[in-house]
Amino acid sequence: MTSQHSHVIILASTSPRRQELISSLRIPYVIQASHVDEDTPENWTPREIVEGLAYRKAEAVHRSCLNDTERSIIVGSDTIVLLDNEVLGKPKNDQDANRMLSSLQGRTHEVYTGIACIDVLTGRTLISHRITSVTMKSLSNRTIQAYVNSGEPSDKAGSYAIQGLGATLIDRIEGCYFNVVGLSLSLLSDMLSELGMDVL
């Protein structure tokens, strides 16, 4: 069956969650890891962090595609959790995950996800982000430790996965759910449309 879409997506991420989200849109895509340095200046705002890293990932893949003749759009993305102006990235270990979850429990935090799209043939670039507010339940130390023991927090910003066992920790969200998973599909579809690819 031939695709009805005019472009192929090149996802600059090895995240299984982002791959699942892209595949749910039923558009042709390939995975190409960016392998970029994710360190950022200390004075960057949350928006600058997620948009800057999303662009850095997409641009790294773009450099390797400069001789491509196929109509492709590279998609880079980055997610962080923000609590009291402190950026919570991925935990270093179980103790760090426990610390993050203890600070998040019973409180509202913000999840920022940046998206960068680059048209391979024209080089046209769009960069944007979404913010979702997430309120976590009040949790006992035992519940937090049990969740950490599950292994799920290990590679997640803020030490939880809203689409997995972490869903049991969440009281409510305000904004785009998929933004918390790691890629706002509504924002991405708008950006792709602006680059000439309509998801529907």
Element (H, E) at 81: strand 72-83
| Residue (of 26, 194, 28) closest to 116 by Cα position | 194
Compute φ and ψ for 47, nearest 5 degrees: -60, -45
Cα–Cα distance, 80 to 62 (Å, whole number): 23
3-class DSSP assignment, residue 95: helix
Which residue matches tokens 């920790």?
A: 169
Which amino acids are annotated catalytic? 78
